[in-house]
Amino acid sequence: MQLSEATGVILGGGKSLRMGFDKALLHVNGHYVVPQTAAKLKKIFPEVVLVADTTKKFSKIEAFQSLPIWTDRYQAAGPLGGLATGLKSAKTPYVFLTACDMPHLSLEGIKRLAEAAQADAQVILYRYQDRLETLFAFYHQSCLATFESQLAAGEGQIRRHFDALNVQVVTVPQDLSLDFSNVNTPADLYRWEEQRMEENKNG
């Protein structure tokens, strides 16, 4: 798969009870995280968008002005609703889905995943520590019908009907260190800020 065949889709995240505020508005060391994530993804994808429950909360924040924001068509349906919105709106055959709160997003990991993709694969994702990384994955437009049926049935888990799709599970390359952790609590955010400060000091 060529990266030019995919749209980068960042999930807005919604209101997190553990974090205490909307994670789409996360900021670290004075900078909003989502626009930084988008800038990173724009290095490899022709278009990068944010899917959120509403666009209003971003309208007066300068950092978000250059980022296309798509309103979630499936409100309160979790990540699957955001994914289906991305697939329904994207002009490319694939979307690459990621979360708004992944501090260690690896472009090399994305590139390797695309390189490993088989021609007939509908879903391409890593298995890491016995977990399928559904929020760091490529999805083909042909998945949309399955996902919309799930949403209509109230089944919100992305991998719920993977058995009905051609899913390619990729082993994390031994020479590539990937971290798929999310920032879910204020303590996680504090550690992220500390790490960013250390990285900046080291150049």
List all residues 6 or more positions away from 56 whose beta carbon is below 8 Å from its beta carbon: none
Ranked by mean pLDDT, the top range of 13-22, 28-37, 190-199 is: 28-37
Q: What is the pLDDT of residues 61-100, one digit of tens each?
A: 898 899 999 999 998 888 999 999 999 999 999 999 998 8
Mean model confidence pLDDT for the chain: 86
- In this predicted structure, the answer to whether residue 145 has a pLDDT above a threshold of 90 is yes
Domain that holds residue 113: 3-201
Report the pLDDT value the prediction gives residue 180, as an integer from 0 to 100: 77
Report the pLDDT value the prediction gives residue 203, as an integer from 0 to 100: 47
Q: What is the pLDDT of residues 125-141, one digit of tens each?
A: 999 888 999 999 999 99
Report the pLDDT value the prediction gives residue 17, as an integer from 0 to 100: 41
**Considering all CA atoms of the chain, what is the largest pairwise distance in Å, rounded to the nearest integer?**
50
Q: Which of 203, 73, 198 is nearest to 147 (CA)?
A: 73
Confidence (pTM): 0.89
Report the pLDDT value the prediction gives residue 130, as an integer from 0 to 100: 87
Sign of the CA dihedral running 14, 16, 22, 23: negative
Q: What is the domain-level CATH number for residue 47? A: 3.90.550.10
Residues of the chain with pLDDT > 90, as a percent, come to: 57
Task: Quickly state the pLDDT bin for 59 (edges 50, 70, 90).
Answer: confident
Report the pLDDT value the prediction gives residue 101, as an integer from 0 to 100: 82
Report the pLDDT value the prediction gives residue 47, as an integer from 0 to 100: 97
Cβ proximity of 8 and 41 under 8 Å? yes
Total domains present in the chain: 1
